[in-house]
Amino acid sequence: MSKSVSLEEAAGFLLRHQRILVLAHQKPDGDALGSVLGMRSFLRNLGKQADALFPSPLPERYRSFAGPVLTALSRQEAERNYDLIVLLDCANAERIACGPALDADFLRSRNLLNIDHHVGNNVGAPYNYIDSTASAASEIAVELAQATGKAIPAEAATLWYLGILTDTGSFRFTNTTGKTLRLAADLLDAGADSERVVNAVYFSKPRRQQQFEAELLQSCVKTALDGRYAYASIPPELFAKYNFDMRDGEGLIDLLREIDGTVVAALIYRKNDSYKVSMRSKLREFPVGPIARSLGGGGHDMAAGITLALPDAAAVEAVLLDKVTGLLRPVPEP
């Protein structure tokens, strides 16, 4: 049975259990990593056994924050070693980063607490605390920590600050609220190392990534609908030329969103037999979340993602252009 719990009930889970495994979504971004690693730090500071599982290599810019993490876990180890599993920042059961030995059905059979901020979360955990008004999973994690009445250590504060900063685009995105800023201030007061976070996230870009981004802007960007829609399909040759991995592509779509006049941006690239699409909107009146959900994807109204099994990038572009045209086309006067 899956049920919703209150913030206080979720905080009680953290206090009552001693051996806790913390998970996030596949291809983790700053919020996924920050929320998970911050939770691990917070729980360990309470004297609990807490481990983070990341089966795939972490993005380069965040590796210095992680320390040792689990990269694999068997069912027997999960059953034997943990009495609570905490899942953070994961909206879809199929995207849980748990490795090949575990799956969503197994996790749901365990003592699983699902903590998330995405609309339409379908994990179906036994216990769920979902707050779609929160800017980031890290924001919810801070509230959970405060609800326990326990102090937040500086390391956890730094990691949760990382998660909030990246998911709000340094407080530029419309998901930033007064509560977001107050909680970020609480983290700074708790010792969050803002300089370390900012330098790692914004001022440590490898030269090859800068070259990749420059060529992407020069050669791949297209516009439509009087410049209100900007999109780019990244060819495999460009990835190979600069040895660039989309694990390090967080924020890449903002290069398109930054273009003057753009309202909606989309970034497309091939992965295995499908195409991955990231979409962003600048204006609340033109949300991209419904487009993503209509095509089997998900996310927030202003930031969403889709996987499309279509024959080529041109077909993906055509589908998206049709959807975005419907979104941005003015409604005729009656």
pLDDT digits (tens, 9 = 90+) for 161-172: 999 999 999 999
Helix (H, G, I), strand (E, B) or coil at 310: coil
Question: Could you tell me the two tokens for 266?
Answer: 């989309």
Quote the pLDDT of residue 120: 85
Residue 330 confidence (pLDDT):
67
- The whole-number average pLDDT for the span 10-24 is 98
Mean pLDDT of the chain: 96
What is the per-residue pLDDT for 102? Answer: 96
Q: Distance between CA atoms of 135 and 144, rounded to whole angstroms?
A: 14
Q: Considering the chain, what percentage of its residues have pLDDT values greater than 90?
A: 96
Pair 69, 105: CB distance under 8 Å: no
Tens digit of pLDDT for each residue in 291-310?
Answer: 999 999 988 899 999 999 99
Res. 52 pLDDT band, cuts 50 70 90: very high
Q: What is the mean pLDDT of residues 85-111?
A: 96
Residue 1 pLDDT: 85
Is residue 332 pLDDT above 60, yes or no?
Answer: no
Sign of CA dihedral 203, 205, 211, 214: negative
- In angstroms, rounded to a whole number, what is the distance separating the alpha carbons of residues 135 and 187? 15
d(CA 123, CA 141): 18
Nearest-angstrom CA–CA distance, 62 and 160: 13
**Helix spans in 193-329 (H):** 194-202, 207-219, 236-241, 254-257, 289-294, 313-328
pLDDT by residue (tens digit) across 141-151? 999 999 999 99
Is residue 329 very low, low, confident or very high in pLDDT (cuts 50, 70, 90)?
confident
Grade residue 243 by pLDDT with cuts at 50, 70 and 90: very high
Binned at pLDDT 50, 70 and 90, residue 131 comes out as very high
Instruction: Report the share of the chain in percent with pLDDT over 70.
Output: 99
Residue 152 DSSP label: P
